[in-house]
Amino acid sequence: MTGAVIHLSVPSGDPIPHALLELAIRLTLESESHLAAEVSVAFLSDEEARRMNRVHLDHDWIPDVLSFQLHGPGEPPHADLYVGLEQARRQAREEGVPEAEELVRLVVHGLLHTLGWDHPEDPAARPVSPHYRRQEELVTEILAEYRESADASGPSPHRGPSPSDAPDQGRRGPGGVPR
């Protein structure tokens, strides 16, 4: 595993799969050959996410994830990710996937952005973009590794909700836009 420092900021009382999200961050960093990093993930309400999107990107909509690269060239990754928790839950319901899987997808998506990956703005081009393909490869790998470790160690009250074995191919964002 990496020497990553990971911070998760979760609203009080919200069941967030901490161990799964930490694994997602570590495996994504490892897959991109980063042995040291600092990653913070904050989970926001719709109102907070929309405000951040407006203030920092001049967009007036509720995002699912916002990512900010705080490191310079040649420096270890330092990233701040902001996940719209309510939006993520809506997307999970719309797509028929477990909430935990959608949270992994959004964390991986945002983290890849801070590591230099990008996707086209054109929604039709996203599913074939290298960023999207890499994201989905990682989500599949992370969920499989998590299931294997859960099977080996049994239930844990600290692990959080477990993602199902539902396939995650053909993912779409709000309004059917591929992510």
Where do the domains of the chain lie? 3-156
Mean pLDDT (the chain, rounded): 85
Distance CA 102, CA 64 (A): 10
CB 18 within 8 A of CB 43: no
pTM of the model: 0.83
In words, the CATH class of domain 3-156 is alpha beta
| Residue listed under structure tokens 């990682």 | 138
| CA dihedral sign, ordered 66, 10, 39, 92 | negative
Residue 151 has pLDDT above 90, yes or no: no
> What is the predicted pLDDT for the residue at 170?
44
Neighbours of 117 (CB within 10 A): 17
Residue 155 has pLDDT above 60, yes or no: no
> What is the predicted pLDDT for the residue at 58?
94
